[in-house]
Amino acid sequence: MSTDNRPSGAKPVLLSVMELGGYPDFTPLYEQAGFKVYKTDSIRKAVKLIRQHRPQVMVAEFNFQSDFRDRTSSLETLMSSTQGIIDCDLVVFYEKEFAPQYQRFLNTFEVAASLTFPVDEAQLRDTLSALSIRDR
């Protein structure tokens, strides 16, 4: 759960990390939900944005990578790199076929919501609404 340290009246920040994409850009949906949105397509840039903007919500993909020796995905790298820097709600998109690998990720990292591809916009909207209400 995130801690709200925004100035009064400021929109909560949402960081969208779209590494591979292949799905719609949900920025308009994020903005309609009341977020100030920052986007990136790389983990390295995401770490920088997290340090600069301290998002309350982060939306990212779980992309299983079998060539990693000690990790399952770059999302794991992102979360490890930012531990202690940020406390935010994480929403993860993942492929059903990688559910066993994703479960290993869930054993280590806390996730506010997990949505499978193809992402249902209504479900994403409801998830963001619930997070916004909880954090106010």
Split into its structural domains, the chain has a count of 1
State residue 117's pLDDT score: 96
- Per-chain mean pLDDT for the chain: 88
pLDDT digits (tens, 9 = 90+) for 11-21: 999 999 999 98
Is the residue at 1 inside a domain?
no
Considering the entire predicted model, what is its pTM? 0.88
Is the residue at 38 inside a domain?
yes
| CA-to-CA separations, 93 to 3, 5, 23, 124, in angstroms, rounded | 23, 27, 10, 10
Is the residue at 120 inside a domain?
yes
- pLDDT above 90 covers a percentage of the chain that reads 70
Would residue 116 be called left, alpha or beta, if left means φ above 0 and alpha means ψ between -120 and 50 degrees? beta
pLDDT digits (tens, 9 = 90+) for 82-121: 887 778 999 999 999 999 999 999 999 999 999 999 999 9
Which residues span the domain enclosing 84? 13-135
Provide the CATH number for the domain around residue 29: 3.40.50.2300
